[in-house]
Structure 1
Amino acid sequence: MIVRKVNDVCRKDNVKVMLRKSGSVRLVPANSMLSMITFFASEGDEIEIIVEGDSCISSMEEIKKIFLEDLKQINDESGTYELLKNTSIAYEEIFNSIAVGIIATDENGIITIFNKASERITGFSLDKAIGKNINEVMTDIDVSQVLRFGSEFLNKKYVIGEKTLFINITPIYAGGRITGSLVVFQDFPQIEYLEGELKRSRKLDKAFDIIVGNSGKLKDALTVASKAAETDSTVIIRGESGTGKELVANAIHYSSKRRDKPFIRVNCAAIPSALLESELFGHEKGAFTGAITQKIGKFELADGGSIFLDEIGDIPIEIQVKLLRVLQDKEFERVGGIRTIKVDVRIIAATNKNLEEAMKNGTFREDLYYRLNVIPIFLPSLRDRKEDIPVLVEHFIKKLNKKLGKNVQFVTNKAIKALIKYDWPGNIRELENLIERCITLSDKEYIDFDDLPSYIKNVKDSKDDEVIYLGDNYDIEKMENYEYKIIKAALSRYKSFNKAGKALGLTHKTVAAKARKFHLVEN
């Protein structure tokens, strides 16, 4: 109620309202739900209210009414007080125990959440950061595009002092509109940069040899994975289906200090939701119909080692609570059991789903997301690393010759060019299946263009496709007119500067500047 009513005043009068417990230096924005959850006041506590803005005197009268009159009408027979107290403590513990920096802002870019890892990485204290615009704390971080258009910046590189940060910036939604932004970042001081690109001088462990490819985007992801392997931090691997997430999880485990311990794999999407809890945590005899013996769960089997939770975005919401406890306290009870079981398990998760969208829809818990998103690794799709297709094809030919008893030696240049033109919606898995099909059906010692399926042979060169049809009898327009049409079409299709920029081969800043120039967006 406080957040809603204060927010109405802030919007109406264009003011900023901050709260502070008497004797404390910490200011908390009163119109931010996240901040207010972590700001818990007991009955009898003295609270200072600070209002900044042109209409602060009249606004203060409305704010005082909220606290002095409206709050008195609340009946706490339902136990709201205790619930808020416990929630406040839980949120504080969660945010401050996470090893990555977490900063939340409101819709104006004002910082509302600033955890301990953010203090360590940026050098700013909580008291000095809360209530400030994020640009005052991290000067080159721009959240305006996220707040304005909902565009996401994933795995953006940022250098602060001698530290290299990998930053994700995503919008926070409430009531169907953008109400703030979430900035999650991890520092990697050992990673060096050369001319804006990652200098890949770091030697990867042999466990990563199973991952084939030399593209820059893949190497960037593997460098982060290699660093993650040296710690026990939770890792979440994100990428489209078929990009090799399980291979990366495998490499992380077998290059870590847990390599001699169990590596347990669980495909959360392949197990019926009614059985998933028992599969993960085990059950006691008689816990439910058909439980005729005690069963050890996957977490117990993984004790001392790692557990890989594939497709974690498909875990039912009711099981997410129990999983959160394992992540936080490394303990659980079997289904139907009363004994608390403690385990030492490193969790590696993977998903091809948009977890930010799932949080917005209420199908994925926000606190679980923060717990999982300690070290995010983003695997590029095959269409974003097409330079790796020839080496992947060579790898699959060697692998499948042994499996199928064949002796295919190479793929012709014409066939390779056709494979590179194709967009590969099924990614590496689709490419491997295609090569297996060609090897199986071929009687030759090579794969030629004619051996490829028609849907690949019929893909045209992008340069042969006319992006804009001018007609047979046309007048040449000024370049600026074509530029306007292209920028407008890209923004209409992709809905954000970031995605439109990627499609056009431009930076998001260039697209934003041109969109403002052509009055496609408000200045």
Structure 2
Amino acid sequence: MLREDVIINHEKGLHARVVAMVVLKANEINKKYNCNLYIQYKDRKSIPATSLMPLVLLKVKQGETVGVEVEGKENREALKEMANFLRGDFHIKESDQGKVDNIIEDNNITWEQVFKSTANGIVAVDEHGNIMLSNPSADNILNIVYEDIVGKNIGDILTSLPLIDVLKDRDPRIGVKKTLEDKMLLINTTPIIIGKDFKGAVAVFEDISNLERIKSELYEVKELKERLQRIVENVHDGICLVNRDGVITYVNPAYIELLRDKEENLLGKNIFEISPNGIRCEALKIGRPIIGKVIKKREGINVVANVTPIILEDKITGVLSVIKDLSEVQILTEMVNEISAKAEYLEGELYRREEPGEAFSKFIGRSGKTLDALAMAKKAAKTNATVLIRGESGTGKELIAEGIHTSSSNNRGPFVRVNCAAIPENLLESELFGHEKGSFTGAYKRKLGKFELAHNGTIFLDEIGEMEKNMQAKILRVIQEREIQRVGGDETIKINVRIIAATHRNLEDMVRYGGFREDLYYRLNVIPIYIPPLRERKQDLAFLIGYFLEKLDMETGKNIIGVTNEAMEGFLNYKWPGNVRELQNLLERIITLTEKDYIDLKDLPLYMKSDEGNETSKQILEKQVLKNKNLMEIIEDEEEILPLKDYEKIIIEKALKKYGSFNAAGKALGITHKTVASKARQYGIEKIVSWENLSR
């Protein structure tokens, strides 16, 4: 290899454009003389004269010397031509200008792509710690944006990188591990020294989180393998592994013990030879598991076997056979059944005994029937299914409905109450679905119905048994389609409403006799909840009396200490046909009238202390029916005429018994339902009719 030293005379030295001209010239000479030219600067290694960026990075200045080296044929001519070119002023022909630009552009793109495409993060700072550059990998790993950090001091932002330490002592930091949030970084940080001058530092790092995770997983796999080995060796089930050729490769001690055999008699044996008709051979052939096969072994041993193919990458590599002594299985099955039954019972009892929660705090009581009702209500609140609450008047059906709404997922929506019995039939549709302006006389403006008002909430349809059948059909459509139409309107309005209905009527009998639609009954009766009457949960009387006394004391300003034993006995003996509502009203009357600070037997009304007051509703009904029969006989007697009100009572009672509601009875008699209800209360037959309907 020949060499010639050349002094660079160009005022700017070998800067990028000059080097591009050198590269262009070197390519021409190499091709012309079939040789390879090199440039050597100071104590550095020789660099091919056709390599742009390495030559640029030499940063050769005016007046400095570089060595031109050549190898190959006709090397003297090539060396001379290249040396003369370097001594010149680097004037470029206009025809070569484009070639020089292309060389610069191609090399810039190449280095830029290398820098951007490097998977490792790179961050460089100058000698003052100011950030000069970072590549996209660094931005991604460190969650930074280059435009936001360039020019800023490394000590203010990227303190996780050990660049500050390198700037202080100029010593490299190799193989440093750092945790950055959820990432583990491996960082190499080295000083940047050009010549003998310290120019800054560069950190090259990579995210080794996956490697650390794999390392941890490998350790866990090793540990898991050891644990599985211990488990397999100590389980009571017999385990046998067979490879794809049918050779037994492993049996655990339990397998040997169950078969009364020796390990050496099993390992290495081929199942196609020792048990060609067995389920292990079958599973290996068909590639499907065989579960729960009862097999009779020699010496009267019965086992239950499960054989499962081992499949890797869609290929059967063997089978796993697990056997268990059948007698143990039978014992375990009995134990499991017994434990499951106990667990189910205890779970039910635990659920019943749980505190009802704030949503049901208004419903007072701790008796068994009360807890059952509240437990069912709590379960109903977890779903969006329709609920039908059954129970006599005054038992607290609305409180249960409100509690279900409060505990449900739609508790942010409204809770809208509708008493179907209190709204006249001709107004009920408008009340429920709303009406458009001008849809009927008096409709001066649009009105939203209860269903629209209850959107995304709950609507409580109380006394739904009093609803006429044509309205029942419209309610059924709402439940099925989840949409309504206002009276007089054509627009179909989608609604999202949880429906809770309640009634004291016997809907099953009403369905049987045509008073209630069967399809609506099944739609409503998805989750039935029965609220027991007060006479069936007298254990709650003490709780209820205490609650109402405290409430009424606050309202009246009195301080009633409690109830005497004699008075409490009177409360317990009474049948409470009006249920909790009757109890509340009675206590309010007693507290208002009493001058004492306690309630005794004298404060109770006479009917609670008489035998008549303690008659059951059935006994009252039987007496009333007998009385009615006598009256019917008198009516048929032409010689005796009774006052008109007696006949009126008989007719209204007969209509109520036949048609089952004030509305239907009113229509049959040609009078309004309000008149029927008023007359029934006047003659004291409204409760008897209600009890008759309940007892059907």
TM-score (structure 2 length as normaliser): 0.38
Name the structure 2 match of 1:326: 478
Residues 361-394 of structure 1: per-residue CA shift (max 9 Å, x gap): 2121000001000000000010100111111111
> 2:392 is matched by which residue type in structure 1?
E
- Give 2:546's aligned residue: 394
Give the structure 2 partner of residue 444 of structure 1: 596
Partner residue, 1:27 = none
Distance 1:269 1:421 in 2: 32
Residue 195 and residue 236 in structure 1: after superposition, are their counterparts in 2 closer, same or farther (change >3 A)?
closer
Contact 1:283 1:297 in 2 (8 A): yes
| 2:383 counterpart of 1:383 | no
Counterparts in 2 of 1:378 and 1:229: CA distance versus 1, 3 Å: same
CA contact (8 A) 1:281 1:300 kept: yes
- What is the correspondence of 1:63-74 to structure 2 with a 5 Å cutoff? none
Deviations 1:98-133 (A, max 9, x none): xxxxxxxxxxxxxxxxxxxxxxxxxxxxxxxxxxxx
Q: 1:413 aligns to what?
A: 565
Residue 424 to residue 251, structure 1, CA distance change in 2 (3 Å): same
| Greater helix share, structure number | 2
Does the 8 Å CA contact 1:192/1:198 hold for their aligned counterparts? no
Aligned to 2:402: 250
Residue of structure 1 in register with 2:122 after alignment: none
Tell me which residue corresponds to 1:29: none
Letter in 2 for 1:423: K
**DSSP 3-state at the match of 1:424:** coil
Cα distance, 1:286–1:438 mapped onto 2, change above 3 Å: same
Shift in alpha-carbon separation, 1:294–1:257, aligned structure 2, 3 A: same
3-state SS in 1 of match to 2:447: coil
Task: Give the whole-Å Cα distance in 2 for the aligned partners of 1:359 and 1:390.
Answer: 38
Moved over 3 A (4+): 189-192, 194-199, 459-462
1:453 aligns with 2:605: yes
Q: CA deviation at 1:405?
A: 2.1
The aligned counterpart of 2:438 is: 286
SS of the aligned residue for 1:363 comes to: coil
Flag the 1:301–1:435 CA change in 2: closer, same or farther, 3 A. same
CA distance in 2, matches of 1:323, 1:195: 37
Counterparts in 2 of 1:181-260, with a 5 A limit? 192-194=344-346, 200-260=352-412
Q: CA deviation at 1:420?
A: 0.1
CA distance change for structure 1 residues 264 and 190 in 2, over 3 Å: closer, same or farther?
farther
CA distance in 2, matches of 1:339, 1:374: 29
Q: Residue in 2 aligned with 1:275?
A: 427
In structure 1, the residue matched to 2:302 is: none
Q: Residue by residue, what CA displacement relative to the aligned partner does 1:301-347 show, whole Å, maximum 9, x if unpaired?
A: 00000000000001111111111011111101111110100000000
Compared CA separation, residues 284 and 410, structure 1 to 2 (3 A): same
Which secondary structure does the structure 1 equivalent of 2:372 belong to?
A: helix
Cα distance between partner residues in 1 of 2:499 and 2:472:
14
The alignment status of 1:316 with 2:468, answered yes or no, reads yes
| Relative contact order, higher structure (CA 8 A, sep 6+) | 1
SS of equivalent residue, structure 2 residue 393: coil
Q: Return the letter of the residue paired with 2:410.
A: R
How big is each residue's C-alpha offset from its partner over 1:468-510, in whole Å with a ceiling of 9 and x where there is no partner? Answer: xxxxxxxxxxxxxxxxxxxxxxxxxxxxxxxxxxxxxxxxxxx
* Change in CA separation of 1:191 and 1:375 when aligned onto 2, cut-off 3 Å: farther
- Secondary structure at the aligned position of 2:352 is classed as coil
Matched, 1:371 2:539: no
Distance 1:286 1:193, change over 3 A: same
1: CA distance, partners of 2:585 / 2:482:
39
Structure of higher CA gyration radius: 2
Check the 8 A contact 1:333/1:340 in 2, yes or no: yes
Whether the 8 Å contact between 2:574 and 2:613 is mirrored in structure 1 is: no
Q: CA separation in 2, counterparts of 1:409 and 1:423?
A: 25
State the shift of 1:402 in Å.
Answer: 1.5
Counterpart in 2 of 1:302? 454
Q: Secondary structure at the match of 1:429?
A: helix
1:348 aligns with 2:497: no
C-alpha distance 313-338 of structure 1, shift in aligned 2 (>3 A): same
- Distance in 2 between residues matched to 1:282 and 1:206, nearest whole Å: 33
Q: Structure 1: how far apart are the matches of 2:343 and 2:548?
A: 32
The one-letter code of the counterpart of 1:306 is T
Q: How does 1:7-86 map to 2 (within 5 A)?
A: none
Paired residue secondary structure (2:361): helix
Instruction: Verify the 8 A CA contact 1:306 1:348 in the aligned structure 2.
Output: yes
Query: C-alpha offsets along residues 30-54 of structure 1, whole Å, 9 cap, x if unaligned?
Result: xxxxxxxxxxxxxxxxxxxxxxxxx
Distance (whole Å) between structure 2 residues aligned to residue 346 and residue 196 of structure 1 = 26
On the 8 A contact 2:607/2:613 being kept in 1, the answer is no
Tell me how far apart the structure 1 counterparts of residues 486 and 370 of structure 2 sit (CA, whole Å): 39
Q: 1:190 to 1:338 in 2, by over 3 A?
A: farther
Deviation at 1:409, TM superposition (A): 1.4
The amino acid across from 1:352 in the alignment is H
Secondary structure, counterpart of 1:193 in structure 2: helix
CA distance in 2, matches of 1:225, 1:407: 35
> Contact (CA 8 Å) 2:435, 2:447: kept in 1 or not?
yes
- Take 2:347 and 2:415, find their aligned partners in 1: how far apart are those partners? 39
Deviation at 1:193, TM superposition (A): 2.2
Cα displacement (A) at 1:459: 4.3
Asked whether the 8 Å contact 1:311–1:349 carries over to 2, the reply is yes
In structure 2, stretches of 5+ residues that fail to align are: 1-336, 615-696
Q: Please state whether the residue corresponding to 1:200 is helix, strand or coil.
A: helix
Deviation at residue 292 of structure 1 after TM alignment: 1.2
Distance 1:190 1:267 in 2: 43
Counterparts of 1:229 and 1:276, CA distance in 2: 27
Task: Identify if the C-alpha distance between structure 1 residues 192 and 399 changes in structure 2 by more than 3 Å, giving closer, same or farther.
Answer: farther
Shift in CA distance, 196/230, structure 1 to aligned 2, threshold 3 Å:
closer
1:458 deviates by 2.4
TM-score, normalization: structure 1?
0.51
5 Å-filtered alignment, 1:48-197, equals 192-194=344-346
Give the CA deviation at 1:198.
7.7
Q: Structure 1 residue 260: deviation in Å?
A: 1.6
User: Does the aligned pair in 2 maintain the 1:285–1:294 contact within 8 Å?
Assistant: yes
Q: CA deviation at 1:257?
A: 1.3
* CA shift for structure 1 position 190: 13
Describe the SS at the equivalent of 2:422.
coil
Question: Equivalent pairs: percent with the same residue?
Answer: 58
Task: Identify which of 394, 414, 418 aligns with 1:262.
Answer: 414
* Contact in 2 for aligned 1:284/1:291 (Cα 8 Å): yes
User: Deviation of residue 205 (structure 1)?
Assistant: 2.6
Report the secondary structure of 1:402's partner residue.
helix
Partner letter of residue 436 of structure 2? E
Q: Report if the CA contact (8 A) 2:389-2:531 is conserved.
A: yes
| Pairwise CA distance, 1:258 | 1.4
Q: Which residue is equivalent to 1:432?
A: 584
The superposition leaves residues 64-102 of structure 1 with CA deviations (integer Å, 9 ceiling, x where unpaired) of xxxxxxxxxxxxxxxxxxxxxxxxxxxxxxxxxxxxxxx
Once residues 421 and 407 of structure 1 are traced to their aligned partners in structure 2, the CA distance between those partners, rounded to angstroms, is: 26
**How far has the Cα of 1:357 moved from its partner?**
1.1
Q: Is the 8 A contact 1:401 1:407 kept in 2?
A: yes
Residue number in structure 1 paired with 2:279:
none
Does the Cα contact within 8 Å between 2:353 and 2:371 map onto a contact in 1?
Answer: no
Rounded to whole Å, the distance in 2 between the matches of 1:255 and 1:208 is 9
For residue 332 of structure 1, what is the amino acid of its counterpart? I
Quote the Cα distance in structure 2 between the aligned partners of 1:312 and 1:345. Answer: 17
Alpha-carbon separation, structure 2, partners of 1:218 and 1:230:
19
